[in-house]
Amino acid sequence: MNIEIDPRSGFCFGVVNAINQAEKELQGADALHCLGDIVHNSEEVNRLEKKGLITIDHKTLENLKGKKVLLRAHGEPPETYRIAKENGIQIVDATCPVVLKLQTKIKRSWQVIKEKGGQIVIYGKKGHAEVNGLVGQTDGNAIVIEHLDQISIIDFSKPIVLFSQTTMSPDSYLELAEIIRIRMVEIVGNDGVPLTINRSICGQVSNRKKEVEQFAKKHQAIVFVSGEKSSNGKMLYEICKAANDRTYMVTSPNGVNADWFKNIDDVGICGATSTPVWLMQMVSDQIKKLTIAS
């Protein structure tokens, strides 16, 4: 069996930075708290928890005093910084610079657009940590659209500034922007109300689409490795599946099924921006084991 691990798969720089910061902090300490899963991959979370990382939720943060807490790459709303200050918590801020820049841009846009009676619309997953951090920049006023059929909550007669969560599908975002533009023209005509579309999808995600598509096409079968909670994992898996029908998703080597490799001698392994290379290597070892045995 010829097995290739996609050389471009693996952690993005935002995740690498957060994990490096956690490992550095854990070198001189027994424990470090992390607000939410440091990465949407339970295998990697387990590895770091064995080194002393303690994953907490926002409820626990409210009652935590005087500890050190790492904020992961997704970023946090201003409320989290306020609670940390009140509780004497030292923050290790591993917010990805791309997310930080987007938060700042949304905050500035909100200051301007609210004076004009306008709206900030964010294309993203409701309740996702990054989206919560973005909505927090507008004091909770941003409208979050997860699916195209939810756009009726937007007021098309008022100015709109549109952003996307960094890990959404670029094609779906463009589709949403176009639908909003058409609806605004239908309601207020051509000379009315401004729509500002910001390109806020991370290059680490948007550039992956083409690469992953090509990778999926060049192999007889694809094993896609990703945590269940990863947004870009779901999106990239769909792209692989559309390019190669024999694409299978696993979260760990245990999910690999020998039946997938019947009558083929070539398989590609790829993953999300939150998938560690060591995990893809373990999946590769498992495929070797199963195909030698069968």
Positions marked catalytic: 130
Nearest distance in Å: CB 273, ligand SF4:
5
The residue sitting closest to ligand SF4, measured at its beta carbon, is 14
The Cα 27–Cα 122 span in angstroms is 38
Of 169 and 273, which has the nearer Cβ to ligand SF4?
273
How far CA 7 is from CA of 54, 67, 276, 281, 288, in Å, comes to 31, 38, 12, 11, 18
205 binds ligand SF4 (CB under 6 A): yes
276 binds ligand SF4 (CB under 6 A): no
- Name the phi and psi angles at 221, rounded to 5: -145, 155
Of 73 and 287, which has the nearer Cβ to ligand SF4?
73
Q: Which of 1, 3, 4, 13 contacts ligand SF4 by CB under 6 A?
A: 13
15 binds ligand SF4 (CB under 6 A): yes
Nearest distance in Å: CB 196, ligand SF4:
21
Query: Which amino acid appears at position 218 of this protein?
Result: K
14 binds ligand SF4 (CB under 6 A): yes
167 binds ligand SF4 (CB under 6 A): yes
Q: Which of 5, 99, 144, 236 contacts ligand SF4 by CB under 6 A?
A: 99
Of 166 and 284, which has the nearer Cβ to ligand SF4?
166
Look up tokens 């937007």; give the residue. Answer: 154
User: 66-85: which residues touch ligand SF4 (CB under 6 A)?
Assistant: 73
Q: Which of 9, 169, 204, 231 contacts ligand SF4 by CB under 6 A?
A: 204
Of 14 and 159, which has the nearer Cβ to ligand SF4?
14
Which of 130, 75, 80 is CA-nearest to residue 97? 75
- For the four alpha carbons of 287, 16, 32 and 227, in that order, the dihedral sign comes to negative
Stretch that binds ligand SF4, among 58-66, 114-122, 197-205, 253-261 (CB under 6 A): 197-205
Determine the size of the site formed for ligand SF4 (CB under 6 A).
Answer: 14
Of 44 and 256, which has the nearer Cβ to ligand SF4?
44
Instruction: Give the residues lining the site for ligand SF4 (CB under 6 A).
Output: 12-15, 73, 96, 98-99, 166-167, 202, 204-205, 273
